[in-house]
Chain A
């Protein structure tokens, strides 16, 4: 899931980037409304986390401009202003939800999941399922045909990311970025070794992870041949 973070305060921006990446979001962060408008209009984001107080235009104005330009990406507004009038204004300009600072990161995640769920069928949190595999993100538990499968931390992150992007072709680069925090060279065989471990542990469901030669992997609900 790709999230655009728009926050001018460097400390808060860094915090959001790190926290969301740890939760397997693909994050792009900008510090002003002008850059944000350009990026958001280019598309490709599943949600926008938008600070209301920005150095060039306020977040309300940006949100209204995005809606006027046909950008319907869910917007979660962040602000220090928590009066009823401000909350109403935020929703009136096209925001999907509103979170007052200081906020709990857990609540930000929950609201992100909620705003994204409204327009999508995929899950961002809770229980992911694909074919006979179920993955509980909160309990960090995986089952295949209701039988528990014990995974290492890396194997779990790998499976979770593939399941979040089920039916998408996930590039080796994206996997390296989000499972190994970009520390793994996507040309090395470390990734292949972990996919191999994962397939072994998934047993009969191993065929749900398909190799897309030269690109990466796809997680499908239907068992299929490797291509």
Chain B
């Protein structure tokens, strides 16, 4: 590696970091699914217990499918991801994110006041990008912290959303990762995917000084 030109060495380092991140992301749900199956088969169980185990396995497999979709997305041309010819209502996107967390009391999504706001990009991809930022906050919050998603600025050419971890907040290391993801096209798979979608859609990920990250989306008519 020392014989490589600096730019190539940087690319290789980024690629190695990305590969490690992808391996980690895949390993987590894969381990969960394999473990659930092993534990479920260790003894005779009731139908209810098997149903619960199958639901958890199904959730893990859904995560693997999402990761596969994210990797596909990263391999696609930017214009296919961005799809700026489309315009979507912000409340449609936020409602989809809210639906995902409907059964949880540690995530609050404020949809009110967003029905007249339209943003450019693919509904599916933008929903995915915002979900990935929320997931990052959930994964890195301190014990007991709730995570909220709301619109903080609706005027101007860009719409700004805030993903916030309420007190006791989020671990500082998580913000470092967010800053890294905002500065360079590296970092964990989730953040890298979110960044690609948002930037391809004319938006951005903007870490703030507090326990929040702002997501900017391109306003459309």
**Chain A: residues with CB nearer than 8 A to chain B?**
8-9, 11-12, 14-15, 18-19, 22, 30-32, 35, 53, 55-56, 80, 101-106
Contacts and interface: CB of A to CB of B under 8 A. Distances in A.
B31 A53 contact: no
Interface in B24-62: 24, 27-32, 34-36, 38-39, 42-43, 56, 59-60
Contacts of A105: 35, 38-39, 42
B100 interface: no
B32 A12 contact: yes
A91 B36 CA distance: 28
A189 B171 CA distance: 47
A104 B35 CA distance: 7
Contacts of A32: 142-143, 171
Binding site secondary structure of chain B: helix
Contact of B39 (A9, A15, A53, A55): A15
A178 B38 CA distance: 20
Interface residues of B, number: 26
B24 A11 contact: no
Contacts of A19: 35, 39, 42
B140 interface: yes
Nearest to A32: B143
A35 B145 CA distance: 14
B139 interface: yes
Interface string B4-39: 000000000000000000011001111110111011
Most buried by A among B32, B43, B139, B143: B32
